[in-house]
Structure 1
Amino acid sequence: MQLVRAGLCAFGMSGKVFHAPFLKEHPGFSISGIVERSKEESKEKYPEATIYRSVEEMLQNADIELVIINTPVQTHYEYARKALEAGKNIIVEKPFTVNVAEAEELVSLAEEKGLFLSVYQNRRFDRDFLQVQKVLAEKKLGIIKEAEIRFDRFRTAPSGKQHKENPDQSGSGSLHDLGAHLVDQAVQYFGFPEKLFADVFSMKGEEFANDYFEILLFYKNNLRVRLKSSVFTKEDHYAYKIHGDRGSFLQERTDNQESELVAGAIPVYGKEWMLPLKEADGILNFLNENSETERILTFSDAGNYMHYYQQIYEHIVFGHTLPSPGNEIILNMKIIDASLKSAQEGKIVSL
């Protein structure tokens, strides 16, 4: 099997949870380098990786052909540009960049250099996202008229992470953090909207970056899609609500890959590593071909972030389709930029 040598730009939660375990367990990758500015935490689990004290130092290692930009969003543009100029293919953590202009420049540079740029939209491999995608493909709901996608938490106290909570830093706040997932899911399900209206602000107060947003996306054929997130939600909602002219589908957010990985689970290459659900996590209520009501409790199949890295590997080795390429995620950044503008101006923004 051809071996792809990869380098991680950081070893915080993203590196420890979402990237290193999958690169380690996938036989087609080796972790050649990890940037740790002062610590050596990676040495215990990844002794094969050379520890570098800066991204610039790691980029000088000619053996690394794939660089994962998993630093704070405010540094994505700088490090992604440096990696591309060094001749490296790159994966950029979400949110892609701070704004559309940065995203477009990086995509253009990657194309100019003949390199690939993928954005790590891992929630496309969540069980709940995939279940909604499956139901939509079955078309039992008829013509979709309304949808709502939520990502709520109960985190009322400050986290202390300045790159996420400082209101004076571009790219901080829930809109970029969680909105990057919800916007991506809406575009994957329904395409690019015509216009939007957004409410974005901080419930914790003006000294913090936004921790609440509600975005109403306007589509052709009178479809409305609402994206919403709050950190003051103690009781869970259905994360997905899809309503059509023949029925409705409600889906809970039940993917627990992140929590399992944080707890120390090791993903398995070549097979599903998450256990099946014991209880239903969705409700499908629709009119069948005889116009009779069918109400079914549904069970989503396990998600698997390993599939993202498998697709990356297949793109490198076999030329298969690149997952979440940068030029595709530019659309998401346009929606995020327009949402900030809509909230500031208090009006509908055309896309």
Structure 2
Amino acid sequence: MPKGCPVTAGGARWDSDFLTLRTLLDSGDIGTVLRYEARFEVFQPEAGAPAAGGGTLVDFGSHLVDQALVLSGPVERVYAEMHHRDDEDGLDDDVFVALTHRNGVQSHLWGSWRQGAPGPSLRVTGTTGTFVVDHRDSQDRALMRGATPQSEGDGWGTEPEHLWGQVRRGDTVEPVASARGRWDLFYIAFAAAVRGEGPVPVDPWDAVATATVLDAARSSARDGQVVRLP
């Protein structure tokens, strides 16, 4: 979910590509996850990593890490590399984070404002196949052009067929219909929780877990060392 999205980090769980991935895993179509790769990359080298976002690690990384934790659980080791802008703000505008989860899954996460050749938004390797999505969820672009869930109705969050992901097994390529992206459900669930009609859509302790990983990534990039978490 790129900068400017009004949804919290936990709201990235309602991205179309992530919802589609979870459906594939539930059905066993790609087996058990071995490696999870996710990217939020754009090419805005001059205007990127604004101070309001706090830098790429916080801005993009909060979404990326939250998704990785939801998918594969707690992390035991963190390694990161960061590039900082050479200006008065000195914010990081390009970051790579590698996570080793307690269950053995490897998560490789990229966030960048200066990537002229963005990679696939998701590439998830399982024991029986790999799921690849080349394009980011379209909900942010819809918001930028003034569309809303109310104005789009059931069309909100739907992805055109040419943007669907694929399950790949060598030369065999199978298109996978994208699940509908539903950021709006986060707000509906949150409003219900405020009224006492249901649980909060994202456990606050999940935000603590994400922040802990981000802090470890910052330390790793600064010191050039792998950081071990309790």
Q: Same fold (TM over 0.5)?
A: yes
Number of matched residues? 225
Deviation at 1:325, TM superposition (A): 2.7
Letter in 2 for 1:337: D
> What is the distance in 1 between the residues matched to 2:71 and 2:59?
20
Q: 1:339 to 1:243 in 2, by over 3 A?
A: same
Pair 1:145-2:34 in alignment: yes
Deviation at 1:294, TM superposition (A): 5.5
Deviations 1:48-106 (A, max 9, x none): xxxxxxxxxxxxxxxxxxxxxxxxxxxxxxxxxxxxxxxxxxxxx74xxxxxxxxxxxx
Pair 1:255-2:133 in alignment: no
Letter in 2 for 1:298: V
> What is the distance in 2 between the residues matched to 1:144 and 1:310?
31
Pair 1:230-2:112 in alignment: yes
From 197, 201, 212, give the equivalent of 2:83: 201
> What is the distance in 2 between the residues matched to 1:267 and 1:231?
27
Question: Partner residue of 1:343?
Answer: 221
Q: 1:280 to 1:159 in 2, by over 3 A?
A: closer
Q: How does 1:46-125 map to 2 (within 5 A)?
A: 94=8, 121-125=10-14
Q: 1:159 to 1:247 in 2, by over 3 A?
A: closer
Question: Partner residue of 1:185?
Answer: 67
Counting aligned pairs with the same residue, the percent is 23
Task: Give TM-score, length-normalised by structure 2.
Answer: 0.86
Question: Partner residue of 2:19?
Answer: 130
Question: Partner residue of 1:309?
Answer: 187
> What is the distance in 1 between the residues matched to 2:222 and 2:39?
22
8 A contact 1:269–1:306 mirrored in 2: no
Deviations 1:165-217 (A, max 9, x none): xxxxxxx2100000011011101111111111111222x43642111111111
Question: Partner residue of 1:211?
Answer: 93
> What is the distance in 1 between the residues matched to 2:65 and 2:189?
22
> What is the distance in 2 between the residues matched to 1:190 and 1:331?
13
Q: Greater RCO between the two (CA within 8 Å, min separation 6)? A: 2
Pair 1:279-2:162 in alignment: yes
SS in 2 for 1:279: helix
8 A contact 2:76–2:101 mirrored in 1: yes
SS in 2 for 1:228: strand
177-186 vs 122-131, greater mean Cα deviation: 122-131
> What is the distance in 1 between the residues matched to 2:160 and 2:215?
37
Deviations 1:140-183 (A, max 9, x none): 2223221211110101103594444xxxxxxx210000001101
Deviation at 1:280, TM superposition (A): 4.4
Q: 1:280 to 1:231 in 2, by over 3 A?
A: closer
Letter in 2 for 1:242: V
8 A contact 2:10–2:202 mirrored in 1: yes
Letter in 2 for 1:332: T
Q: 1:344 to 1:219 in 2, by over 3 A?
A: same
8 A contact 1:254–1:281 mirrored in 2: no
SS in 1 for 2:205: helix
Question: Partner residue of 1:37?
Answer: none
Q: 5+ residue gaps in structure 1?
A: 1-12, 19-92, 95-119, 165-171, 288-292
Q: RMSD of the alignment, in Å?
A: 2.6
Q: 1:337 to 1:136 in 2, by over 3 A?
A: same
Q: 5+ residue gaps in structure 2?
A: none
Deviation at 1:286, TM superposition (A): 4.6
Q: 1:159 to 1:215 in 2, by over 3 A?
A: closer
Pair 1:324-2:202 in alignment: yes
8 A contact 1:280–1:297 mirrored in 2: no
> What is the distance in 1 between the residues matched to 2:151 and 2:141?
19
Question: Partner residue of 1:103?
Answer: none
Task: Give TM-score, length-normalised by structure 1.
Answer: 0.58
> What is the distance in 1 between the residues matched to 2:137 and 2:202?
20
Q: 1:269 to 1:206 in 2, by over 3 A?
A: closer
Letter in 2 for 1:141: I
Pair 1:157-2:46 in alignment: yes
SS in 2 for 1:331: helix
Deviation at 1:137, TM superposition (A): 1.9
> What is the distance in 1 between the residues matched to 2:27 and 2:191?
30
8 A contact 1:201–1:212 mirrored in 2: yes
> What is the distance in 2 between the residues matched to 1:243 and 1:223?
10
The structure having more radius of gyration, on CA atoms, is 1
8 A contact 1:121–1:324 mirrored in 2: yes
